[in-house]
Structure 1
Amino acid sequence: MLQKNCLKRYIIYSKEKGEDIVGNFGGNLQKIKNGKKTYGITPHIPGGFVTPNTLIKIAEVAKKYKGVLKITSGQRILITNLKEEDLASVWNELEMEPAVKTQNSVKNVEICPANFCKRSKYPTIGLGMKISNDFHGMELPCRTKIAVVGCRNACTSAYSKDIGVIVDMDGKLFITVGGSAGFNPRNADILIKNLSENEAYLLVKTVLEYYNENAQMGEKLGHFIDRITIDKFRSDIIKEKKLKEEKNDN
């Protein structure tokens, strides 16, 4: 079963990292009241797209264990107010993967409903899902968020994400990097414009790999760009992208 295999991998990873045993089941301590601890879990919902049956299952499991449901800003559903002793059972009954397995990774890929939106300039859901499937959970120097949107309205706050894939007015895609909406907010830099879907995907891959190889541990993408300058970052990324394209051609 998918969830059991995923849970096993999560337990092994957590023990290797020396994390608290509660982390083995994807539970985060939420509150301590009168000595009693409650925990929250967040199942992985790719791009925020969820089937009615999955919604029903989440609701039924939450109700059974007296959980409280919260829609998160990351297009997920947090189940909080859970008891520590119920965490393993909740995960097994959900049969879903944890949204975050390690903090220093691609934590989520947020996707707008472009294919169903009248303002969309390009149907980006497929690209967003491909990026999510290929890179979600990828270990990196620091937590990383990606957004994929079908127009410049950027409904997932793409300009505040570490990497944004945005469609311009002419239907061409462009990439932004280094955004952050956290404790130290940072506006994203526009990296490259006038991209096709395939070029945008390759550029996201190139940025992630370059960041992983060159940034310091714990260094956010935006801080890394500030340290080396956006001009050097852009120049190096273009070189790396060309090398990948030449390799693919061969």
Structure 2
Amino acid sequence: MATLPASALLQRDKKTYQIRITPPCGVVTADELRQLAEVADKYEVPLLKITSGQRIALIGLEEEEMANAAEEVPFRIGGHYIQACPGTDWCKMGQRDSTGFATTLNEKIGTLATAAKIKVGVSGCPISCAECHIRDIGFIGTKNGWTMVIGGNSASRPRIADTLAEKLSDEEALALLDRFLAHYNETAKKKQRVARYVEEHGIEAIREAMGV
């Protein structure tokens, strides 16, 4: 029997499970959707749900069916998610290439080990359709570069993210992300989400410790 994914969630009935698959930046192809539909038909998935983080949840399968289905879906399961808007590829408001940058982030940190799970928003303009200010880490595109924000949360203790740095090029934003994650992993409590971490330490102290 296939191994049940570590990220599988037991459902309300205490018998069936949910897994969430992660299309990179929420982007899917027609072929990938057909493959997903075939998996859903094969295992009689009762419910497919698009999540707020641009993932797709397969809900309501027995343990053995869920484990096998997880091996056949076209995207990775679990890990961090990177949410993105269409950016300059399609949106007339876009000022930065959010989908391209988010794709790079997905490859860079999608399965990276961190103190707690990380949710990332990447928006191509200050309207911030990728909800950057309520994500652990956010990148907001402006005509002068990326603004990086940290410490947002939209759960039972909502929090608006603080600005870590502004006017960043792609290379500078990626380098700053590396520095922040290294600092966070070294100093955060186990399973302490970024919002609670920023609350505890304060954005000014984090900036000073990182030399930002």
| TM-score computed with the length of structure 1 as normaliser | 0.78
Q: 1:53 aligns with which of 22, 31, 44?
A: 31
1:191 and 1:93 map into 2 onto residues whose CA distance is: 40
Residue identity over aligned pairs, in percent, reads 31
Q: 1:66 aligns with which of 35, 44, 54?
A: 44
Whether contact under 8 Å (2:5, 2:70) holds in the other structure is no
Whether contact under 8 Å (1:147, 1:163) holds in the other structure is yes
Q: Which residue of 2 aligns with 1:245?
A: none
Q: Which residue of 1 aligns with 2:90?
A: 116
Query: Higher Cα Rg: structure 1 or 2?
Result: 1
1:183 and 1:73 map into 2 onto residues whose CA distance is: 15
Q: CA deviation at 1:236?
A: 2.0
2:126 and 2:159 map into 1 onto residues whose CA distance is: 18
Matched, 1:85 2:64: yes
Read off the aligned partner of 2:9 and give its amino acid letter: N
Q: What is the aligned residue count?
A: 209
Matched, 1:208 2:186: no
Q: Which residue of 2 aligns with 1:163?
A: 137
Q: CA deviation at 1:192?
A: 0.8
Q: CA deviation at 1:37?
A: 1.5
Q: 2:119 aligns with which of 121, 145, 164?
A: 145
If each structure's helix is expressed as a fraction of its own residues, which one has the higher value?
1
Q: CA RMSD in A?
A: 1.8
Whether contact under 8 Å (1:146, 1:161) holds in the other structure is yes
Q: 1:134 aligns with which of 81, 98, 108?
A: 108
| TM-score computed with the length of structure 2 as normaliser | 0.91
Whether contact under 8 Å (1:127, 1:201) holds in the other structure is no
Q: Which residue of 2 aligns with 1:196?
A: 169
Q: Structure 2: where are the runs of 5+ without partners?
A: none
**Larger relative contact order (C-alpha < 8 A, sep ≥ 6)?**
2
Matched, 1:43 2:17: no
Q: 1:178 aligns with which of 148, 151, 174?
A: 151
Read off the aligned partner of 1:126 and give its amino acid letter: G
